[in-house]
Structure formats: C-alpha cells, structure tokens
Structure 1
C-alpha cells in the first residue's frame, strides 16, 4: 500500500488498517518504520477517546466528500470532459509562458530543530530516543525516536507505547528562539530579504550570490550549511536547490538529515522529477485533499494531475484546479514577495485537557503576556481580540470582541480575554489561543484624502473627552480630526452604539451653530448609559468673554427617567424585562432614547424653534433670541449628520423594539421570551401587495424541494425577526441557518435585512454546489421577505480575511446578489450599514422578485 493511502476495504478483524491519522503519516527519518504496527498501536491507544470520536467524525465527513465527488465524476459526459480538456490545454499554454528557470532558490530546513537544540544543551541525550514535549503532546522527536514511529503532533502516551525508552524534555521556546536568531544571521549573508517559514526553515533567493561569486547553487548550499553548523555550535540543516520555492522545499526533504539535493534548472529534468512525485509531498496538499484525489479520482502522483486535468477543472474551483495544474507542471513562485502589512498576530498553546478554571486563567495570562510581548516587538497595536478554544472533544470555538481603543497592553488583552473565556466556562479545554487584528497602522496607511466620519463631526476650536470603559483621555479637536486611536468607537460585536458617542455627535452639532464660541468646561459628571444606569446632568458650557453669554447646550430634553419598577417593569412603557436580560435592558433604554429623538423632531415647536434652543437644558431664557447667522456649509453638514444619527437610532432601536434576534430567540423560558418583547411595531403578515406570478416558487415549493434533498427546513418568527434553520433529515444535526429582520429602511419601504447565512462543516450531498444548503436556507428567508411585502434584500459580506471575504462575495453573487459598495467606515454613509451589521465588508443587494424568478427553475423543477 502506498504511503498515506487508506485501504479500500475495511477488514473487521484488522480495523486499524483503515484508521489513518496525522500520526501515521511518515516524516523524514521514518522510512523503515513498520507502518502497520504504528497504525495498530495508535488505534488501540486512541480507541474510545474524545480524539478517536473526533477522528471518526472527520473520517465520516471525508468519506461523504469522496462519495459526493465520485457521484459528480460519474455524471460527467464525454463531451463535458472534452470541453474541460480544451480549458486545460489553454491553461497549460498560459502557465507555461510564466515558467522562469533563471532564478536559483534555496530552501533550508533545520534537522529536528527543537530536539537538536536540547541535545546541544545536554550532550547526554545524544544517541537516545528523545522527544520535546510531554505525555499530552510532543512538539518534535529526534531521529532515533522516529525510527520507532514517534513524530511531532503525537500524544506523548502513544509515543511512549511505541518507544518505551523515550525520554521527554520540556519545551523551552526562548532557547529555540535564540538559536533561530543565530541561523537567521547566517541566512542574511546570502539573502537579506530571505523568507522565514518558521523558526527552523527559510527560503533564500541566491541567484545574485551565485552570479557574483561564480558558484553553483549546490556549492552555496554546502557553504551555508557549514556556516550554520559553526555559528550555532553544532546544529545541522538540510537544503534543497531548485528554480522555484515549491520545488526547493520538496528537494530539502530528500536527503534529510544533514544533506542537500539540487534540481537542475532544466524543464525536462523538472518534469521528470515532478511526474513521479507523490502528491502528499507538496505543501498545501494535506490528508483530506490527498484522500479525495486518490480515492475519488485515482490521482496519486503530481504527473497524474496533468493527465487528469479535465476532471480537476470539472470538479474543483478554478483557483484549486490552477494550483493542481501548476504543481503537475513543476511551477512555483520565483519572485520575492513584496512586504505586506500583516493582518493579525496570534499566540496559542496546547496542554493536557482540563476544566480547572484557575489553571485555565493562568494559561490565558501567560498567552496574553506572550502576545503582548510579540506585539510590542513588532510595534503593533490592535483593537479586535479573538479567543480560540479547543475543547477536550476537539471542538473548535472562536469568540471575538472589538475593543474601544487600540492596544498592545497585556493587561487590556487579558481583561477582555478573561471575559470571553468566562462566558464559555465550565468546559474542559486542551488549547487556548489569542489573536489581535485590525491594527492602527491600517488606518495610518489609508488614503489621507479619503473622507472619514470624524471629519463630519469634529469642529475647529472644540475639545472633548472620550470615555473608554472607565478611562478617559484628552482629545485635541483643534486639528479638525481625531487621531486614529481615538476614532468614534462602534461596537461591531454587539451591534450597539455607545451613548457617550451619540451625545457627542449631537453636542458637536450644537457647538457648530456658533462657530466663534469656545466652550470652557466646568465641573461635569457624565455617566455612561449601561445596564440600568441613567444619563445624568451635563456640565455647563460658558461662552468666551468676547462672545455673548448663552445658556448651556445639552443633548437630550429633560424627561422622566427610566426606572425598573419592582426590578423588572419599565416605568415608561410597562414592558417587563427580567434582571438577567442585561443586554435587552440596555437596548430597551436605547429604544426610549430613539423615541425622545423622534418626539423632538415631530413636536409642536419643531417648526419654529431653532434646533439649538430645542435641546437646551437648565434655565432657559424665554425672552432671549438666537442670533441670526449666515448660511454655513459646515453647519449644514453637521445638521445633516444629526438627522442621520436620529434616523439611525430610530431604525436601529425604534423599529426593532430594542431586542436583538439572537438574544431573544435563544431564551429558554417561553414566559421570559414574551416579557422580553415589546408590542409589535410592524405589520408583518403575509402580503400580496407585490403580486405573485404563478412562476414564482412558494414557501411550500421550497420546503418540498428541500425534503427531496434530505434537508429539513424550518422558520421561526418573532415580531420582525426571523430565523431559518436547516437540519440533516437523517441525523437531525443542524447544517445551516439564516437570521435577519424585516423593517422599514430610508425611503425603500420594507426591506429584508439578512444578518448572515451560516453553514456548518457538515455538508449535504448535492448535485451542484449552487444547490447546496446555503441556497435553500437563503431561499426560505427570501420567500419570507416576499410574503411580508419586501422588495429588496440586503446583506453585508463581512470582511474577516481576504480569502474568507472573497468566498462570501462569490457565494452571494452566485445566488443572485450584487455588490453595491464597500463599507469601510471611512464615510458617513457607511455608518448605517456598520450599525446594522456590526462590521465592515461588501454591501450586497438583491431584488427579491428577481431572485425568486431566477430560482424558480430549481424549486419548481424539483417539486414537479
């Protein structure tokens, strides 16, 4: 049986033969290992564990993918394959034109790096089987241990079973970093712009060195390896030399340890080398991809990728097919990549699974400290924190929060990470990771001529305080802009807007009415509206002695304060919210703020009372008349902003009734659910106002079609909110969901706002990807919007990473949505979208009627 290949048949008496994990994949130095023995030991030691259960689940999903791929492959006709072969022939000509054999790339890989460093520090370990790590997990093993089948990423108790004499050495990262720095000093002598793959490997472009010194790539590699050995005091490394980075990496693994391999820059030599190379040797082809290619398409070598290119282009995305074809032709990157600003920085640690909260918090503190140290070393500050957890059952959880300011402080990171972790406990955890993203340097590198929301808000001569949690920092607003670190904070994670910020927005509008005045602040107490807290009095502003004295300008009209009677009933409207509904109480307070703003605009004095005077608190001079001022474009801009803010508050909190969909629908107690909802504000009964041609699929058509595909769809509605869930009809497990709300929107009437469409890793067997779970779940949501009278569906393809964002946009585009604009937070127009969806990304819209017409062939055909 070929390396890494699973048995096609399962022998009940030898179940380990079909049990393939990362532990059974051979590394350098494991060529003579008895693979069957390793498989049997791993199987017996893992059986019944959480890891074993997780591996079985992943194995089942992989088999499902393979069967799905086989079914799709069987349905391809000869004409289909002929057409795809034409595509392959054209792509071969195009990529061959990019082949560059003029460069010389060197890949250096240290030999069993961690283990070698420990042996260097403790010579008594030389010649003995040794692994760095512990019984829960090992980081690497020396070559003596690899002869027994011990390898990196293997639990230590399994390694001890394979090699009873195995010696464990604890991990010492500072030591490894020190020796890594020594190797990198050597690399810089040959390529100052070398690419570090990790602590123990690097790519070097040695083209110029070879040309200047008149030496071959092999001679330079030999010299470099010798320099590394002497500089580090005895560490060895292996090297590969080739025309591109992909081939150089493959070559460095051929003569390990302490060897090198040179592949000549000749096309025929490259093609001979690559044609017989097993596909698993290529970086980027892991266990799952390997099995899909082998078991579904019978592609075992890189040469097979070219021979069966028509299948690859028929069954995979173009980007994946292009990658496979390039590999089959031995093509890789030859240029030195430009320095790109990093998007995130992270640190994580694996340990023995534990539910001890004290120990987990201790681990979290260590990781926060390491992450902070790395950020300070790179001079980075960020404001989005992500917590990653791997449970004892190998479930991956990820939770994120947007901070109020940019930070690299370990105290700030730990404070917010602790809150995220606390929300997940109690749970048994085996891995904790922290990632910081959205760096402040991204804002500094943006186009300085591009408008930002702060340019609409901050006026010359004004100053303010920005509240961040319980800290305050002075802001100098005399420069007509705020620093990047002090921009208005929008809480993207919870879709809420801080009321300090809303007050500040309106307060600037008031000050701009008399642009010549300079307000000097007296004693002031501002309390953030949080939980059951209320807005308190604002301090007065005095005009400069050279200007006419006016009364203090404030934000909100005086009114009866919100109080929770008997601890759960709102004294203003009678809505009942239990004390445990902290977020809902906050949002209910927001709802009453929106009402106040609305009443202010529609009040009897709104037509003849100047805006500034309508919001004056304290002692108002009845006989005083505001000075008439000349029209000012800046004033008009800020007044427009004020109107937008009011509309946003009304749309976000008024029409929603102050409740988020997820927080409301997840409540377990039905009585509490009723108490949490305010009186319905929208008429969302099915409407026929749009008319319905017979060609449009009904809700019944969609549900019937989904059942034929083994998909059970249900929709829950609660006032304007809705949630669509899709479950596997056989297993009952959830495979996808869509959430959203129907509400009026800025002159468009009722609009369907899709929060998102989420799909789980479990996939349904569909004929085409377009007919997958996402389309069916989305179709129910769209049909619901149509029944409620919506004409337009809107969503935001959230930007999380370049790859994920492009996939989202591509998916939504395929099902019928069109890009409207990029929401980056750089303009006042982005504010509405950021408040609704809680982030930045690509705004996409679709005509609901057109979507249903487009999908009618799918659902009506399935029903018939």
Structure 2
C-alpha cells in the first residue's frame, strides 16, 4: 500500500481523504499548508448538505476505481500484447497529425473579478479580498490565495482560513465591460479568436508573427502590455505553444502577470510534457485523475504513453486517443470556422434564499445576460431550460418549448418566471437558464456533430459562474470517460455535446379537479417533461439530503426516468454516474424523444385527460403497495435450443412501464403480444424458410459465437462473446415500442463491435450480422413488423458506405434527417445526430437472411 492509500485510510485523520474542488491548489497557492486547509474545510463542512453530497460522490468514485482495478486485473498478457500493438499503430497515426507550423497563444486574466474590483477601489490593493459572500466565492485575489482561499469555496470557510478576508459583492455588468475591452485587444491579433470565458481566450498568432517578423514571445509581451493599457491596470498571463492544449498549460506556469513560451520543436515538447502532472491538462478533472492514479498508477503525461495498452483496454477509443495525444503533446491547431453549438447558457450562484422577489430579480438578471450572449452570437432558439440548485445541493431542471424562435430577454424571462414559480416555495442557491434547439438556418449551417474528444479539448464559450471556470459541478462535467470499451460502428452514435445543465427533477403527483386543470392549461406553456412537472413542489430538506434516487425529465405516458442509487437508469439499466453530465442529458433526450414521436404520430397520445391521470395517481396512492419490481432479465440464448419450456417462461415480455397511469383496459392495449416459442419445433405454423432464433444461434455457434439477450420492459440488449476467449465481441441495443397506426416497432439504437472483433474474419458481415439478427428476430417474436435505424452522417465516404451496407442487408431509405425541419427533431434526439432514416420489414429481413443461417445448419 502506498503512502497515499495509507493516509486516506487513517481514521484519526479523516480530512486527508476529503478532497473537494476548493482543496485543489491554484496559481498563487504554491506555499499553502494543504493539510491545514483540508482540515479546516473538513471541520467546517462536516454535517452539511454539501458534505453529505460530497461523501456520496466520493463513495461512487471509489467504487469506479475498484471496478477499474478489477477489470485491469483480468487482463491477460495476450490482451496487453494485443492492445500494445493498437497503441503502437495509433502513435504512428497521431504523430502523422503533429503540426508544428502554427503558433497559438492562450491568454488568461489574473484573478479577473478581484482585479476589476481592486481597479475600481484602489484601497483594496494589497489586502486579502474575495468576490462573493459567505455562501460562495467567485474568485479571490493572490493575497487571499496565500491563506488557501480560492474560487468555488464557501465564504464562511474562507473566513475561517483568513479572518481578515474582505468580501466584495459580485458585479457582472462591470466584469462584462472589462471583458469587452480585452476582446478588442485580442481582435487586433486574431479576429477569429476563441473565447473560453469572460477572462480567457485562444489566439492563432501565426500570421501576425510572420507578417511582422516577431516571435511568439514578443507578440505575447506586446498583447499583455496592450491589455494593461486598454483596461487601465488589469494584468494577464500568457502561454505560447504549437497547439491550444499546450498553450493553456503554459499560461499557468508564470502566473500572475507573466508568460511562458514553449518552442515548436518535437523534442522540446516531449521533454516538457513528460513530467507534467495529468491534472494540469484541461479535461482531466478530479475523478479522472483519481481513476488514472489510483487504479492504473498514471500520474504524469508521459505515463499515458508508457501504459497506453491499459488505457485502450479499459477506456473508450475516443478517451484513450485523447490520453495518448496528451502524452504525445498533441492538441488542436486549426481554427474552426463554424463551432458546433447545441445550446447556450448562463447561471449564477448566490447565498441560499427562498425570497421570491430576490429570486425573481436574479432570474431577470440572468435572462438579460443570456439574451445579450445570444444576440452577440446571432442565435435564436425555442427551447428554454431552467436549472435550480437547492440549499441541499439538489439539482432540478425544467424545460419548456416556446411558440417561436427568440433571443428576447422579455420572452426568456416570461417563460422562465412561470417555471420558477412552479417550484416555489424552495430555498435556492443557484439559478441557470439555457436556450437550445436553434433556428433552422443555424442548424443548416452547422450540421457537424460534436465528439467526446472535441468536448474535452474545446471549451464552450458560454459564461461560467466562476472566474476560473471552477464550480461544484465543473469537475463532474470534465470527467466524461465511459467504462464501455466498445467501438461504435453503426446504427447510432451518441457523441453530441450539451452544456452543463442536468435534466434532474423531483417528481410529485397531485390530484386536481377538471375545472382547476382547465384554468391551468390556459395559462401555462407546453412543457417538454410533461404537465405533471409544472406544479409546485414542497421543499423537504430532510428528505432530499438522504435521497439516493434522481428523477430525470419525464413525459406523461411513461414512468419517470430514475437514476437508481444515483447512477443506474431504471428504464434501460444503463449506468451513468452523476459526473457524466452530457451523457445523462443525452440519455434523457433519448427517452424524451419517444414522447415527441408519439405526439407527432397521432392525437391519441395526448388525449388522456390530465385530471384522469392524476386521479389514477391518487387511487394508486391509496391502494396496497405494489410488489417489488423484478430484476433485469438475463436470458442466455445459447441454452435455449434444447429447452423449449424454459424458453417460453424466461422470454415473457415485461409490461411496458406506462402501466401505472392506465386503467386495466388501456394496459391490455399497450402490452405487446406474448413471445413466440423460439425452438425449431414450434407449432405456430411459421414457414420453415424463415430462420428461428434457434437457427440463428446454431449458425452462430459454428462461428464460435455465443449470444445472449437481456430485456427490461421494452428495452433489450444483445451481446455476443467469442466462444474461445469468453471476451465480448459485439453488442446491439434497442427498444420495442408502440407506434400509432403501425403497431409495435423495433427501434435499433446501437450496434457495437469491439477491437477484438475488427481482426476477426468478416467481422461486420459476420459478428455484426449475427448480433443484429438476434435483435431483429427478437422484434419479430414481440410482434414487430418494422425495424428502424439511422445511418449516422460522420463523413461523406463513411456515410455512403454505411447506407450501402444497410441497403444490401435489406433496409430502405425513408428520409434524410438534416435538422432543417421541426419534424427532424425527434429523430435527432433519439439517435443523437443527423443522417439517413432507414426502415425495413422484419419479415422480409428474416427471409432475406434465411440462406445465411439455414445454409450453415445444413
């Protein structure tokens, strides 16, 4: 056991294992007694709602680390040898992209908010000062940082660390004014500079250096001097390097009021990056740092290359590629002409309050700032999301669909106020607003899809509530690494990025009379999560502090999406920890899209009176408790060939999850027909030319492929394993859902093949086809007539090949989903991108594939 572990497990020194965002060192905190800061933070926080929330996140992080260690221990020498070959190949490919011809400059204002306040009030100079209050600090000057005070720290803890600390209230209009002054300077050097936040920016100064015959260091010195003159006293620090990732690291080296230049030479870059701690890299937060250090022993960037085989074996390819590129000192060097934006947001933290007038004032201020940001970006949107953080650090979110596209602060405030009033009374410490679903011309001009790597490397330009982009949610937003090591090849790609607004809500049903409901319907807008979410919620801090389940944006006909134990979706079983902010938003959108498609398909989806649903909820509350829900079914199909009776029992479909809000007659209509017997001896009168499930399985065994299916209500997952190694080589996921006018439809969500599969013979038409065939046959046995998928558009070449492949196996193009029409929204939410919608008749598919499976049997 290393020193870190022993200290962590010392019961007499519990503060040593208590690490929050404000116990991490920032520039100006090099000489701080870290143990003293940790002890005071621990003692002052213990017993609070925030402390309980941090303990829960700490426990989840330890669970993830232990899980990663277990997976690492299972890797054999042959596994590591295989992945080392993958690493060697990727190093050659990544090295081929190295660009040392560009000169990038990252400029970061020094303690920006605090410096602006000192400039306005010179008497504060030389005194420890923080912008914010006893509830929360937005930033602290360098005098205060010497005591361990920093951004994102509660003010009462900061006062304990520094008794003489002076608090100055936040004044965002003032900070915005000075930010605009700095950006005027930036435009003189790079008109297309990338603003990371109010106080930082990335500039490509290659052309300026070439035209003026100056070095990057000389331009940086000149720019810093210009900023000081333009703002009449503000200082900034700069970093100059060959790419944005390195430039940002360099700007932090000689803070404050300094600069560091890294020469555009490969050996110099490799020497610089080799000993760099991984936490210095933007995109590697607290959780990721601990996973890499405690589970894999990776502490420096150089070790990412040395242990690359572990990274490619345990992480997704995009995450492993990012880690490897960091270890090689590679980063973005291009200037994107069109930046893919999915939403724009603004949020503010303040002292917890339940005062409606004060909250309304804060909301108006945020709406005005969001409107200004949208006007600067030339954006108009029609989906508004309200984010709230309660005094107990519970996150809630509500969304409303507006009647028209807008960027008006009046429109934003009008609808945001309705959403806020529906939550009162409640004590709130943070309010955020987000606008999304931009107008058609914006969508048409920006069809590209974001990826995990792009999100990690490129920061969104929306405002942050902290001057250095740190907040209680920041590390969580950065730690976006998935435990799923599979490579997505077809059917779907879910790499769309979103801003930091979790769709987490507290769900509560109330009974109202039809007359009351009619009055409410006239006054309120259409809410995406369902009308039940707009009623007032009673605050109960004692309950919320102990709650382990988060309820996510729901819709009237479906049971709420619940994160069981804080990380597991109750609807489909997928595991997404709270740190996976964008993935949770995307997963919530997936279920939300089902409601949108149901509404688009026919009026019957919304004809059930709201009052009736609520009365049913009331009757349910008065009835006997429901039996505990059964666990997720795990059916090993390879065992079903010779056991017809077991097949019939195990593969009975679990009822759809909207049963709680329907009467028995409605439930009968909603349930899919009973599963068909899968054995070859089934007496259903099915033509022998149509391959049964057992035919597919028997054929797959000839290829040494073991298949298994898991079902949870309408959701299913098919996995295929190599019979020799036992390793998973393929997976397909999807859902069986009712489609009005078309009966049940098989929605194919994803199909993935692992890296091991890629070296197998005929992997795509072999393993991929067999895994997909089980999913298709599963839909047939459920009574589905149609299968749907989206051939995601990643590039012209790949997309055309994908469409040709699907066409060859029996799918037909239905329409192009480009985001240019409102009708595309549901498809884009479901599949997470644009592309070609393709459908197939399931019966025809099985007939078409019968030769493949029946031939291998005979």
Q: TM-score range by the shorter chain?
A: 0.5 to 0.7
How many angstroms apart in 2 are the aligned matches of 1:699 and 1:457?
42
Residues 268-288 of structure 1: CA deviation (Å, up to 9, x unaligned)? 111111100000001111111
Q: What residue is the counterpart of 1:462 in the other structure?
A: 461
Q: Secondary structure at the match of 2:799?
A: helix
1:736–1:774 contact (8 Å) kept in structure 2: yes
Shift of 1:169: 0.4
Cα distance change on mapping 1:109 and 1:669 into 2, 3 Å: same
- Residues 306-361 of structure 1, C-alpha deviation per residue, up to 9 Å, x if partnerless? 11111111111111111111111111122222233643222211222334444434
Greater mean alpha carbon deviation, residues 275-284 or residues 408-417: 408-417
- 8 Å CA contact retained: 2:346, 2:432: yes
The change in CA–CA distance for 1:220 and 1:548 in structure 2 (over 3 A counts) is closer
Counterparts of 1:547 and 1:278, CA distance in 2: 36
The corresponding residue for 1:248 is 247
Change in 2 beyond 3 A, CA 1:38/1:404: same
Kindly state the Cα deviation for residue 115 of structure 1 after the two structures are TM-superposed: 0.4
CA distance in 2, matches of 1:65, 1:631: 26
The structural deviation recorded for 1:14 is: 0.9
SS in 2 for 1:432: strand
Contact persistence 2:100–2:265 (CA under 8 A): yes
Q: CA deviation at 1:823?
A: 3.3
**Contact 1:696 1:853 (C-alpha < 8 Å) held by counterparts:** yes
1:499 & 1:280 partners in 2: Cα distance? 23
Which stretch shifts more, 596-605 or 437-446?
596-605
CA contact (8 A) 1:67 1:296 kept: yes
The alignment partner of 1:501 has SS state of: coil
Distance 1:652 1:819, change over 3 A: farther
Cα deviation digits, residues 721-756 of structure 1 (max 9, x gap): 999999999999999999999777699764346999
C-alpha deviation, 1:303, in angstroms: 0.5
Q: What's the CA shift for 1:113? A: 0.8
- Structure 1 length as normaliser, TM-score? 0.61
**Deviation of residue 26 (structure 1)?**
0.3
Query: 1:302: Cα distance to partner?
Result: 0.4
Using the TM superposition, name which of 367-376 and 604-613 deviates more: 604-613
Is the CA contact (8 Å cut-off) linking 1:551 and 1:619 kept in structure 2?
A: no
The 10-residue stretch of structure 1 (76-85 or 786-795) with the greater mean CA deviation from structure 2: 786-795
Question: Could you tell me how far 1:200 is from its partner in structure 2?
Answer: 1.3
Distance 1:806 1:222 in 2: 50
Q: Give the Å deviation of 1:290.
A: 0.5
Change (3 A) 1:366 1:305: same
Give the Cα separation in 1 of the matches to 2:235 and 2:247: 18
Deviations 1:567-595 (A, max 9, x none): 99999999999999999999999999999
Counterparts of 1:786 and 1:202 in 2: how far apart (Å)? 55
Residue by residue over 1:572-623, the C-alpha shift from the partner in whole angstroms, topping out at 9 and shown as x without a partner, is 9999999999999999999999999999999999999999999999999999
Partner of 1:502 in structure 2?
501
Matched, 1:257 2:256: yes
Deviates more, 1:723-732 or 1:697-706: 723-732
DSSP 3-state at the match of 1:510: coil
CA distance in 2 between partners of 1:603 and 1:247 (Å): 54
Higher mean displacement: 21-30 or 58-67: 58-67
Give the aligned partner of residue 533 of structure 1.
532
C-alpha distance in structure 2 between counterparts of 1:770 and 1:540, whole Å: 53
Contact kept, 8 Å, 1:554 with 1:617, in 2: the verdict is no
Following superposition, the deviation at residue 717 of structure 1 comes to 14
Quick check: 1:487 aligned with 2:486? yes
Q: Deviations over 1:106-142 (max 9, x none)?
A: 2111111110111111011011100001111111000
Q: For residue 748 of structure 2, give the secondary structure of its aligned residue in structure 1.
A: strand
Q: Cα offset for 1:434?
A: 1.3
The answer to which structure, 1 or 2, has the higher relative contact order (CA under 8 A, 6+ apart) is 2
Q: Which moved more, 1:563-572 or 1:154-163?
A: 563-572
Q: Distance in 1 between matches of 2:246 and 2:575?
A: 67
Q: Is the 8 A contact 2:130 2:138 kept in 1?
A: yes
Contact 1:577 1:672 in 2 (8 A): no
Q: Residue by residue, what CA displacement relative to the aligned partner does 1:469-513 show, whole Å, maximum 9, x if unpaired?
A: 999999999999999999999999999999999999999999999
Of residues 296-305 and 804-813 in structure 1, the stretch that sits farther from structure 2 once superposed is: 804-813
Q: Distance in 1 between matches of 2:624 and 2:194?
A: 70
Contact 1:798 1:840 in 2 (8 A): yes
Question: 1:62–1:288: 8 Å Cα contact kept in structure 2?
Answer: yes
Mapped to 1, the partners of 2:172 and 2:717 lie a distance apart of 47
* Residues 196 and 461, structure 2, Cα contact 8 Å, conserved in 1: no
Q: Per-residue deviation at 1:625?
A: 64
Alpha carbons of 1:337 and 1:803: their partners in 2 closer, same or farther (altered >3 Å)? farther
Question: Which deviates more, 175-184 or 110-119?
Answer: 175-184
Paired positions, count:
848
Secondary structure of the corresponding residue to residue 465 of structure 2: strand
User: Is 1:563–1:570's contact at 8 Å kept on the other side of the alignment?
Assistant: yes
Equivalent-residue separation in structure 1 for 2:502 and 2:256 (angstroms) = 66
Give 1:252 shift: 1.0
Shift of 1:80: 1.1
**Which is further off, 607-616 or 152-161?**
607-616
Note if contact 1:521-1:540 (Cα within 8 Å) is conserved in structure 2. Answer: no
Moved more, 790-799 or 316-325: 790-799
Tell me how far 1:632 sits from its aligned partner. Answer: 59
Moved more, 430-439 or 837-846: 837-846
Contact 2:181–2:230 (CA under 8 A) maintained in structure 1: yes
Cα distance in structure 1, aligned partners of 2:47 and 2:813: 49
Q: Could you tell me how far apart the structure 1 residues matched to 2:579 and 2:409 are?
A: 31
Distance in 1 (CA, whole Å) between partners of 2:634 and 2:691 is: 51
User: What CA distance in whole angstroms lies between the structure 2 residues aligned with 1:290 and 1:578?
Assistant: 16
3-state SS of paired residue (1:832)? helix
Q: Which runs of 5+ in 1 are unaligned?
A: 638-646, 660-665
Q: Which moved more, 1:56-65 or 1:525-534?
A: 525-534
CA offset at residue 196 of structure 1? 1.8
Could you tell me whether the CA contact under 8 Å between 1:738 and 1:777 is conserved in 2? yes
What SS does the corresponding residue of 2:571 show, helix, strand or coil?
A: coil
* CA distance in structure 2 between the aligned counterparts of 1:569 and 1:63, rounded to whole angstroms: 16
| Structure 2 alignment gaps of length 5 or more | 651-659
Distance 1:552 1:254 in 2: 43
Residues 650-703 of structure 1, C-alpha deviation per residue, up to 9 Å, x if partnerless?
A: 9999999999xxxxxx54999999999999999999998978999999999999
Q: Distance in 1 between matches of 2:145 and 2:502?
A: 65
State the 1:790 CA deviation.
2.4
TM-score by length of 2: 0.61
Bigger shift: 172-181 or 496-505?
496-505
- The answer (yes or no) to whether the contact 1:555–1:615 under 8 Å persists in 2 is no
**Could you tell which deviates more after superposition, 487-496 or 132-141?**
487-496
After superposition, the Cα gap between the structure-2 partners of 1:393 and 1:718, relative to the gap in structure 1 and judged at 3 Å, is: same
Is the Cα contact below 8 Å between 2:392 and 2:544 reproduced in 1?
A: no
**Relative to 1, partners in 2 of residues 1:54 and 1:71: Cα closer, same or farther, differing over 3 Å?**
same
Shift of 1:398: 3.0
Secondary structure at the counterpart of residue 430 of structure 1: strand
Is the Cα–Cα contact under 8 Å of residues 451 and 497 in structure 2 kept in the other structure? Answer: no
RMSD (CA atoms): 18.7
* 618-627 or 299-308, which deviates more: 618-627
Within the alignment, does 1:4 sit opposite 2:4 as a pair?
A: yes
Equivalent residues of 2:803, 2:836 under 8 A apart: yes
How far 1:305 sits from its partner (Å)?
0.6
Structure 1 residue 228: Cα displacement: 1.7
Q: Distance in 2 between matches of 1:376 and 1:246?
A: 29
**Whose Rg is larger?**
1
Once residues 202 and 493 of structure 2 are traced to their aligned partners in structure 1, the CA distance between those partners, rounded to angstroms, is 43
* Residues 792 and 845, structure 1, Cα contact 8 Å, conserved in 2: yes
Question: Contact 1:217–1:241 at 8 Å: present in 2 too?
Answer: yes
**SS across alignment from 1:349:** strand
- CA offset digits 1:376-398 (Å, max 9, x no partner): 34443211222222233333333
Q: Which moved more, 1:709-718 or 1:750-759?
A: 709-718
